[in-house]
Amino acid sequence: MKIPAVKGTRDLYPDLLAPIRRIFDVWRAVSIRHGFEEFEGPTLEYLDLYREKSGDELVGQLYRLTDSGGRELALRPEMTPTLARMVAAQISSLPKPIKWFSIPTLFRGENVQRGRLREFYQWNVDVIGAADVVADAEVILVGVEALREMGLREADFAVHISNRRMIAAMLQAAGIAPERLSGAYALMDKSGKLEAAEFDRRWDAAYGAHLPSARLRALLASTDLNGLEREMRRIAGGSKHADAAAELEAAVAETARLMAILSDFGITEYCKLDLRVVRGLAYYTGPVFEFYDRSEKERAICGGGRYDDLLGKLGKSREPAVGFGMGDVVLALLLEEKSLRGPARRTAGVYVIDADPAARPIVHRVVAALRRAGLCADFGYAAQPIGKQLKSADKKGARFAVILGIDPADAGRVRIRDMAGGHERDATLANLLEDPKKMIGIDT
Amino acid sequence: MKIPAVKGTRDLYPDLLAPIRRIFDVWRAVSIRHGFEEFEGPTLEYLDLYREKSGDELVGQLYRLTDSGGRELALRPEMTPTLARMVAAQISSLPKPIKWFSIPTLFRGENVQRGRLREFYQWNVDVIGAADVVADAEVILVGVEALREMGLREADFAVHISNRRMIAAMLQAAGIAPERLSGAYALMDKSGKLEAAEFDRRWDAAYGAHLPSARLRALLASTDLNGLEREMRRIAGGSKHADAAAELEAAVAETARLMAILSDFGITEYCKLDLRVVRGLAYYTGPVFEFYDRSEKERAICGGGRYDDLLGKLGKSREPAVGFGMGDVVLALLLEEKSLRGPARRTAGVYVIDADPAARPIVHRVVAALRRAGLCADFGYAAQPIGKQLKSADKKGARFAVILGIDPADAGRVRIRDMAGGHERDATLANLLEDPKKMIGIDT
List pLDDT tens digits, range B369-422: 999 999 999 999 988 999 999 999 999 899 999 999 999 889 899 999 999 999
Nearest C-alpha in A relative to B8: A42
- Give the start-to-end residue ranges of the domains of chain A: 14-39+79-337, 349-440
Decide if A100 touches B, using CB distance below 8 A.
Answer: yes
Mapped onto helix, strand or coil, the DSSP state of residue B431 is: helix
Q: Is there a contact between A44 and B85 if contact means CB atoms under 8 Å apart?
A: no
Instruction: Name which of B37, B42, B368 is nearest A14 (Cβ-Cβ).
Output: B37
Question: Taking CB atoms and an 8 Å limit, are A145 and B3 in contact across chains?
Answer: no
Contact A5 B41 (CB under 8 A): yes
* Cβ-count burial B383-405 (b if 16+ within 10 Å, e if not): eeeeeebbebbeebbbbbbbbbb
pLDDT of residue A281: 55
Rounded (10°) angle between helices A196-207 and A213-221: 120
What's the whole-number mean pLDDT along residues B291-308?
94
- CB neighbour burial string for B59-78, b if at least 16 within 10 angstroms, e if fewer: bebbbebebeeeeebbbbbb
A375 in contact with chain B, both atoms CB, cutoff 8 A: yes
pLDDT at A346: 60
CB contact under 8 A, A376 and B35: yes
| Separation CA A272–CA A257 (nearest Å) | 14
Are the CB atoms for B264 and A364 separated by under 8 Å?
A: yes
B364 to chain A, any CB pair closer than 8 A? The answer is yes
Q: How far apart are the CA of A274 and the nearest CA of chain B, in angstroms?
A: 24
Distance (Å) from the C-alpha of residue B228 to the closest C-alpha of chain A? 23
Chain B residues inside the 8 Å CB shell of A14? 37-39, 100
A141 vs B contacts (CB less than 8 Å): 368
Residues 6+ apart with CB under 8 A from B100: A14, B36, B37, B38, B39, B83, B125, B126, B128
Alpha carbon of A56: minimum distance to chain B alpha carbons (Å)? 16
Q: What is the pLDDT of residue B331?
A: 97
Percent of chain B at pLDDT > 70 equals 97
| Whether B1 and A107 lie within 8 Å, measured CB to CB | no
Cβ within 8 Å of A, B 331-360? 345-346, 348
CA B272 to chain A, closest CA, distance in angstroms equals 19
Record: contact A43-B364, CB cut-off 8 A: no
Least confident segment among A165-174, B50-59, B110-119: B50-59
B43/A105 touch (CB, cutoff 8 Å), yes or no: yes
CATH of domain A14-39+79-337: 3.30.930.10
The answer for A 226-255 residues in CB contact with B (under 8 A) is none
Task: Give which of A11, A53, A317 to mutate to test B binding, by max B Cβ within 10 Å.
Answer: A11
Chain A within 8 Å of B11 (Cβ-Cβ)? yes
Tell me the CATH number for domain B14-37+115-337.
3.30.930.10
Q: Does residue B196 have a pLDDT over 60?
A: yes
Of the candidates A43, A134, A396, which has its C-beta nearest B119's C-beta? Answer: A43
Sign of CA dihedral B28, A431, B258, B97: positive
What's the pLDDT tens digit per position in B159-191? 999 999 999 999 999 999 999 988 898 888 888
Residue A381 contacts residue B135 (beta carbons within 8 Å)? yes
Mean pLDDT, residues B348-362: 93
Q: Do B364 and A261 touch (CB under 8 A)?
A: yes
Give the single-character DSSP code of B179: G
B2 chain-A contacts, CB cut-off 8 A: 88, 314-315
Question: Average of pLDDT values for B65-74?
Answer: 91
Instruction: Say yes or no: B317 contacts chain A, CB-CB below 8 A.
Output: no
Per-residue model confidence (pLDDT) at position B336: 95
Q: Which of B37, B40, B134 to mutate to test the interface with A (most CBs of A within 10 A)?
A: B40
Cβ contacts of B374 on chain A, cutoff 8 Å? 33
Query: Does A17 touch chain B if contact means CB atoms closer than 8 Å?
Result: yes
Å between A201 CA and nearest CA of chain B? 39
CB contact, 8 Å: A393 with chain B? no
CA distance A305 to chain B (A): 17
Residue B282: closest CA among B50, B55, B47, B49? B55
CB within 8 Å: B35 and A374: no
| pLDDT for residue B72 | 95
Residues in A closer than 8 angstroms to B73, CB to CB, are 6, 63
Q: What is the mean pLDDT of residues B332-340?
A: 95
Out of A21, A46, A132, whose CB is closest to B6?
A46
From A34's Cα to the closest Cα of chain B, the distance in A is 6
Q: What pTM does this model have?
A: 0.94
Residue B1 has a pLDDT of 61
Cβ neighbors of A380 (< 8 A, separation 6 or more) are A353, A388, A389, A392
Q: Tell me how far apart the alpha carbons of residues B172 and A186 are, in angstroms, rounded to a whole number.
A: 76
Size of interface A-B (CB pairs under 8 A): 245
Spell out the residues 6+ positions from residue A149 whose beta carbon is closer than 8 angstroms to its own. A26, A29, A30
pLDDT on residue B393: 94
B145: contact with A, CB 8 A cutoff = yes
In terms of C-beta distances under 8 Å and separation of at least 24 residues, what long-range contacts does B61-66 make, across chains too?
B61/B108, B61/B109, B61/B110, B62/B108, B62/B109, B63/A44, B63/A65, B63/A67, B63/A73, B63/B107, B63/B109, B64/A65, B65/A63, B65/A64, B65/A65, B65/A75
B101 vs A: CB within 8 A = no
Burial of A192 (0-12, 13-18, 19+ CB in 10 A): exposed
Per-residue pLDDT at B204 exceeds 70: yes
In the structure, what pLDDT confidence band is assigned to residue B345 with cuts at 50, 70 and 90?
low
Classify domain A349-440 at the CATH class level: alpha beta
**Which residues of B fall within a CB distance of 8 Å from A88?**
2
Nearest CA in chain A to B25: A25
Give the mean model confidence (pLDDT) for residues B334-349. 82
Look up residue B269 and give its DSSP letter. G
- CA distance, residue A288 to nearest chain B CA (Å): 19
* Cis preceding linkage at A343, omega within 30: no
Measured at the CA of B226, the angle between CA B221 and CA B229, to 5 degrees, comes to 80
Residue of A nearest to B133 (CA): A381
Q: Confidence class of residue B54 from pLDDT cuts 50, 70 and 90?
A: low
Q: Tens place of pLDDT for every residue, chain A, 444 residues? A: 688 999 999 999 999 999 999 999 999 999 999 999 999 999 999 999 998 766 677 788 999 999 888 899 999 999 999 999 999 999 989 999 999 999 999 999 988 888 899 999 999 999 999 999 999 999 999 999 999 999 999 999 999 999 999 999 999 999 999 999 888 988 888 887 889 999 999 999 999 999 999 999 888 888 888 999 999 999 999 999 999 999 999 999 999 999 999 999 999 999 999 998 977 656 789 999 999 999 988 899 999 999 998 888 877 788 999 999 999 999 999 999 999 987 766 666 999 999 999 999 999 999 999 999 999 999 999 889 999 999 999 998 999 999 999 998 898 999 999 999 999 999 999 999 999 999 998 875
Task: Check residue B186 and give its pLDDT.
Answer: 85
